[in-house]
């Protein structure tokens, strides 16, 4: 067979990056795996090595205080964060291999918007003072890869054929069942974004709400007296989770508003919802944190998400 010589205009970066979807898919997969790892570590009741080094205390030492509630509280934040990361990674993978592969402008814009929110939330550490070296290293590695993927994938978009702006009324508005479901899902997305902003703000400022203090049986002053580095570490977990929830809200709103969801997209949304809401809800009874007021946003959001998904999918 005749040998086809390589194209001299094809550089190494083009061969490695292709049309930009490969780096974006790597970011999505990395986020999903990181979320799974966070769930695994939290389920074992362990801290990461750099957390132990920062605190100067192992989980076993903290478990000796107040029926291990401090450790359980930290685990509950980390489980919820891990579930949110799995949800984000799942949606990134679908957006990359589905709508973006078909050159749909809205998918590119949604990846850009959600990525800006998600990666920028890392800067919340300026408010709580704990620079997580593992988190920082991952951000430093994935953010450039994400940007390169976005810039390279722009060439897949037929910008003239996709001049329709995101704020134009979508097609689902004319379908009664689909409209009802989409409106419900948009409400859930708005609630997620607002809730995420609230969690980030709380993490950067007061750190604990009254329900948290009641569960812990200790306030911020008592925790500081126990270990002055404990509150900054917990604040880091809270702010990180809040940023991930904000990113999930942006993704859900963008996907639902456009309404261009194929079968794989509905499946990805379902998996993301199970990962995000499932971990946020079920970790609470697992650790005995069953305050009804505290649980109501997660339970209500999960129920509305399931209802909206079913109505929109049927429509």
pLDDT tens for residues 298-309?
Answer: 999 999 999 999
pLDDT averaged over the chain? 88
Domain count, the chain: 1
The pTM score is 0.91
* Residues 6+ away with beta carbon under 8 Å from 78: 38, 41, 42, 237
Q: Is residue 282 part of a domain?
A: yes
Which domain does 101 fall in, by range? 17-159+173-314
When mean pLDDT is compared across 7-21, 27-41, 232-246, the lowest value belongs to: 7-21
Percent of the chain residues past pLDDT 70, beyond the cut: 88
**pLDDT higher than threshold 60 for residue 162:** no
Is residue 77, in this structure, part of any structural domain at all?
Answer: yes
User: Does 164 fall in a domain?
Assistant: no
Q: Which residue would you say has higher pLDDT here, 155 or 270?
A: 270
Two structure tokens written together for 133: 């070296």
Domain for residue 188, yes or no?
Answer: yes
**Tokens 């993490």 sit on residue:** 203
Tell me the torsion sign for CA atoms 278, 38, 82, 130: positive
Going 287 to 291 to 294 to 297, the CA torsion angle's sign is positive
Q: Is the pLDDT of residue 37 over 90?
A: yes
Residue 72, in any domain of the structure? yes
Does 26 fall in a domain? yes
Structural domain contains residue 302: yes
């Amino acid at each position: 067979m005749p040998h086809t010589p390589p194209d001299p205009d094809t550089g190494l970066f083009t061969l490695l990056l292709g049309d930009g979807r490969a780096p974006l898919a790597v970011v999505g997969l990395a986020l999903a795996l990181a979320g799974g790892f966070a769930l695994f570590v939290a389920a074992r009741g362990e801290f990461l090595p750099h957390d132990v080094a920062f605190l100067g205390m192992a989980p076993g030492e903290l478990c000796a205080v107040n029926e291990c509630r401090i450790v359980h509280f930290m685990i509950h934040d980390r489980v919820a964060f891990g579930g949110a990361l799995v949800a984000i990674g799942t949606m990134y993978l679908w957006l990359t291999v589905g709508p973006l592969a078909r050159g749909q402008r809205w998918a590119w814009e949604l990846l850009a918007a959600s990525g800006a929110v998600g990666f920028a939330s890392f800067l919340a550490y300026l408010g709580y003072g704990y620079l997580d070296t593992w988190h920082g290293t991952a951000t430093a590695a994935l953010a450039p890869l994400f940007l390169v993927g976005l810039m390279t994938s722009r060439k897949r978009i037929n910008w003239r054929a996709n001049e329709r702006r995101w704020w134009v009324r979508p097609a689902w508005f004319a379908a009664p069942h689909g409209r009802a479901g989409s409106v419900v899902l948009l409400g859930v997305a708005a609630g997620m974004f607002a809730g995420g902003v609230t969690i980030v703000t709380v993490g950067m400022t007061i750190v604990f709400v009254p329900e948290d203090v009641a569960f812990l049986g200790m306030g911020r002053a008592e925790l500081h007296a126990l270990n002055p580095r404990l509150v900054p570490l917990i604040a880091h977990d809270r702010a990180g989770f809040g940023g991930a929830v904000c990113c999930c809200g942006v993704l859900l709103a963008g996907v639902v508003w456009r309404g261009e969801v194929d079968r794989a997209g509905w499946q990805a949304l379902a998996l993301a919802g199970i990962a995000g809401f499932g971990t946020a809800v079920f970790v609470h009874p697992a650790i005995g944190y069953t305050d009804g007021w505290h649980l109501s946003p997660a339970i209500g959001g999960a129920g509305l998400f399931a209802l909206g998904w079913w109505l929109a999918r049927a429509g």
